[in-house]
Structure 1
Amino acid sequence: MEQLTDLKAILHSKRANIYYLEKCRVMQKDGRVLYLTEDQAEKRYWNIPIANTTVILLGTGTSITQAAVRMLSSAGVLIGFCGGGGTPLLSATEVEWLSPQSEYRPTEYLQGWMQFWFDDDKRLEVAKYFQQRRLAFMQKVWSSDRDLQAEGFYPDDMAMEKAIDQFHSKIDSALNVTELLTGEARFTKQLYAYAAQKTKHKEFIRNSDAEDLANEFLNHGNYLAYGLAATTLWVLGIPHGFAVMHGKTRRGALVFDVADLIKDTLILPWAFISAREQATEQEFRQQCLQSFTKHKALDFMFDTVKQMSLEGVHL
């Protein structure tokens, strides 16, 4: 029991690491979780600090032992299986999350969520609140992040200011989730155009199956955000199926709702910047993780979901 307590000593909202692994074996050895890489010359073992890790993505050519899964579960680390580069192997395949099993997670957040979720009007109001928080986070981050500003990303640029104002109006006037999704799709399209213009990326079209670097980095970065969202919901004990915006027919849709809080703010601009710089996947991933930590993305997700769990019924 002492070991389990130590492994969970760091709150999930404060953990710093996300791992993407490929062509290696993950195992437990001497009370630690390691991954083994092999080449013709030698074998190398690398330690994973599981107490300070939120998500591990296992890409192509990986295997994991039962003992390693048991230790990761004890530390509350989510495991995701994905294709190469952190994105699905096939376009129709979603990342599958293996959630640590614990019957001692809080119940108050799920109970609060369910109090409003079956009411269509209240669920719409929560969806609107999520989008408002998303815009507020973008304005806050882009107004203070000097690295993004050095690349020309400002929330008060004429084009961005107009797009944000239009989306705010659409959020306020939306009578149902379909109208809200329509406004969100238009706003995202404007963001792509803005980022493409700032990074001189000609004729960009968002296509998750495309093989250009910008699209590949968007796919990769989005799945990092999905990992944070899945972690947030698991820790708070809220099942992924109780979405407020992306539809009740998709089993994991609430993950997409929560990931949207930070995705466009932190992933989208760096995907375009990294593509222009011809960065490697590892360099892009490291930039995303630095941004998550710098702007306390996981804290923001936790605060937003907890607030809605406890206050959504009063909207």
Structure 2
Amino acid sequence: MTTKTNAGRFFEDYAVGDTLHHAVPRTVGAGERALYHALYPARHALYSSDLFAQSCGLPASPLDDLVAFHTVFGKSVPDVSLNAVANLGYAQGRWLAPVWPGDTLRSVSEVIGVKQNSNGKTGVVYVRTRGINQHGADVLDYVRWVMVRKRNADAPAPDPVVPDLPKALAASDLVIPDGLDFTRYDFALAGEPHRWGDYAVGEIIDHVDGVTVEEAEHMMATRLWQNTAKVHFDTSARPDGSRLIYGGHVISMARALSFNGLANAQMIVGLNGGAHANPCLAGDTIRAWSEVLDRAETAAPGVGAIRLRLVATKGGAPFALRGEDGKYLPEVLLDLDYWALMPL
């Protein structure tokens, strides 16, 4: 019998310096936008209206930044996290160009770190992934690290290499889309009056609303993004027999909930860091709060940058993040640090 199927990579299959060219480019369009807005309560005006985007200096409404993220991420899953136990975190993410309906995206990753865990059964793999459009231009790049099973527990551990990653991108590292201009920004159509200058460093915003995650919508989302990680589909892949909700699903849900209080934080342009603190399962109700970490002016007319911590929880005390031991509280699902663009 011959075998033509692919079981995916295991921890011992990765080496620092490997370049992974991910299969199946994806052309994205209005269908992805409609499905994204059906899956999440996404309402940011710049991604909902061509006319609003044109009033902000863009030729049309681009696809949501997280559509680009999920698409690029999904391409990488068969080569990076098919046999993952969990996706652990992110750093150094930059949105480099808008993604427009009709663009075709592909992904390439470089292995930049490996470290076997003390149990000898799993290890952590660090990759830098680039999303590339049909013109060969990078639209997104980011680092993520993922815990991957070993094929053979007796396989020797590689020399550990853990990349030195900055805690945050400098505001000067952010890429502002060509033509973006918020000097004629319509706050009434955007949904809130709050400008960049209305937010103070240290301010905490309760986004009030909650959404209960259901099995069906999560399965639709992972299929939409062509994310084939076994823990999201196969109940035998986890000891408790549950399907793990895709971490990106939690990110998009929390980002959409943040509209209430941050409706004018229009474009995500930087991902400083992020951790999926605890697993999310069907039936969990996601709530979100944000903390303002920093602010910076940009060279674009009327455009300011705001650095935000976005926390998603499934209950617990308001605004609580870590326990006395320094570890994330069990009800915390996501701790995401990002830069967004907002009208001055």
Please classify the TM superposition score into its range, dividing by the shorter chain length.
Answer: under 0.3
- Structure with bigger helix share is 1
- Structure with bigger strand share is 2
Q: TM-score, length-normalised on structure 2?
A: 0.22
